[in-house]
Amino acid sequence: MQITYLGHAGFLLETEKALVVTDPWLSPEGAFDSAWFQFPCNHHIGPWLREKLESSSKSLFVYVSHEHRDHFDPEFLKTLPLAKINFLVPRFQRPALREHLGKLRPNSLISCTHGQIVAIPGGTVRLFLDDSGLNRDSAILVKADGHSFLDLNDCKLYDQVASIRAEECPISVLTCQFSGATWHPTCYDYEPHEYERISRLKLLGKFEMVARAIEAVQPSAYLPSAGPACFLDPELLHLNFEPVNIFPRTPQFISFLRRRLSIPELLTPEMMPGDVLDSTNWELHPVGRERVSEQSFRCYIETYAAQYRHLFVDRQVPCGQLLRDSLMIQLQENLQRKVDALTMADQIRVPLYFGFLDITGELLRIDFPDRKIERVFAIREPDFYSIKAPSWQIARILDGAMTWEEFALTFRMRLNRKPDVYQTLIQGFLLMEPEDMNWFCERLLSIERRGKRITVEAGGNRYSIDRFCPHQGADLSQGWLAERGLWTCPRHRWQFDLDKGGQCLTSNGSIHSVCLEND
């Protein structure tokens, strides 16, 4: 099996009888309304990959893990020899991804459920799904030529990797995301020292989760992928150069792994777009033309950004009062549809304020229990959640150019919350479309109803706790004990204080059921 790195989360797996492409993101327009760009730049790979697929006599498969546009690149996909392409896609509750790919009229569209195995010439592929509403993602295992390639990309199924290995071992290559990709704390109003503290905790937490996954899978090679992107918009350019944030680069993570893991034979190369790893002899062929070192990083990004400066010149055009009023009315109507669809709205105890960064004064105040939205001129409560974004960016959502989830990944917004704790329902409200709200709430309720318990040990004591995390249902039996008696969820690092009745330290209103067993 030859593994060519395409950049970001993309790989080309070449076996004796098939070519399998995973998450090719190659379009030069970036992703999320050009907020993210590939790092290093991989746009030159597109013509090469297209020619490779067009000229090959092997069976062709293209896997798209989820809807995020740094993995699902419709502009590039529609340029491929679609009459020869077999798309592999997860069967999510939300059908948008498979519907979009179906409209491209490929040779076939293979829609897979969780754990489903699909035969390909000379091997198999198997998909694993995480479909929790807030997270909609998948992983793929490709087995061929006596080797196996497990690509978790952004999929946080860390509580399942041990069982995957038990069923599928040995696994030759593991790859997954190691950097952050969220608006917290990136877009929140924190003092600099607090921003760095939270960023460092999240960075190290993510590093630790991936290290534990590597220990569980025991691959011959781990390939860092799926991040970080780079940010070329002048409004976001500073994110590339912050001393501490949730976007570490590959050398930093490889350095951590070498200190953290006691697996001297583990191969952890820093691959650049175009580089090839041969799994038959584990030789790396560094043929990619875009090669960036830590020393050349700043110059590289500044040059890259200069090439795209024209793209952002006309973005922030002030709108007149009539347009502003119309936009506020449309936003209120859109949010009202979401409130009406949120069946658990009465459980949100703080109001949400929504406003525009470029329009001072007026805000929308959302009262969830009363399902009421009103226009106000100031935040009235000491406890609240607030979000502001550019009016032109909100207009892009309202005219259907992007989803709310895609908007969240533009990072073109500012948020604040008091108290500063995560609230699952507000997060779901902000990120999801109205038609997904009901299913999201029902899934949260189903997690609460499971009622299964496990016993964990900490400090010589045994604690009985609910097996499934109330956030998104992760299996807490695969969690670990952090410092100060905190039990840590293996997917999203939610923490539960075992010595304080199972109090959740991550989310407001989530008290995890726990009791101390007698020895």
Q: Structural domains in the chain?
A: 2-310 (3.60.15.10), 321-432 (3.30.1050.10), 451-516 (2.102.10.10)
Any idea which of 133-147, 289-303, 505-519 has the lowest mean pLDDT? Answer: 505-519
What pLDDT is stored for residue 134 in this prediction?
A: 72
What pLDDT is stored for residue 319 in this prediction?
A: 61
Mean predicted confidence (pLDDT) in 344-359: 92
- Residue spans of alpha helices (H) in 278-356: 297-307, 309-312, 321-341
On average, the pLDDT of the chain sits at 89
Q: Please report the beta strands in 368-502, taking only residues with DSSP state E, as ranges in sequence order.
A: 372-376, 384-389, 414-418, 453-458, 461-466, 480-482, 486-488, 495-497
DSSP letters of 384-412?
Answer: EEEEEE-HHHHHHHHTTSS-HHHHHTT--
Count of CB atoms within 10 A of residue 259's CB? 7
Q: In residues, how long is the chain?
A: 519
Count of CB atoms within 10 A of residue 210's CB? 23
DSSP letters of 325-346?
Answer: HHHHHHHHHHHHHHHHH-TTGG
Task: Locate 284 and state its tokens.
Answer: 């790396």
- Find residue 469's DSSP bridge partners: none
Residue with token string 């090469």: 48
**Max alpha carbon distance in the chain (Å)?**
70
Residues 6+ apart with CB under 8 A from 311: 34, 232
Mean predicted confidence (pLDDT) in 227-252: 96
pLDDT(203) > 60: yes
**pLDDT band at 47; cut points 50, 70, 90:** very high
Q: What angle do CA 124, 130, 134 make, to 5 degrees?
A: 150
Q: What is the pLDDT of residues 250-288, one digit of tens each?
A: 999 999 999 999 888 999 999 999 999 999 899 999 998
Better-scored residue on pLDDT, 158 or 108 = 108
Mean predicted confidence (pLDDT) in 131-139: 84
- Direct distance between the N- and C-terminal alpha carbons of the chain, in angstroms, rounded to an integer: 52
Whether the model clears a pTM of 0.85, i.e. scores above it, the answer is yes
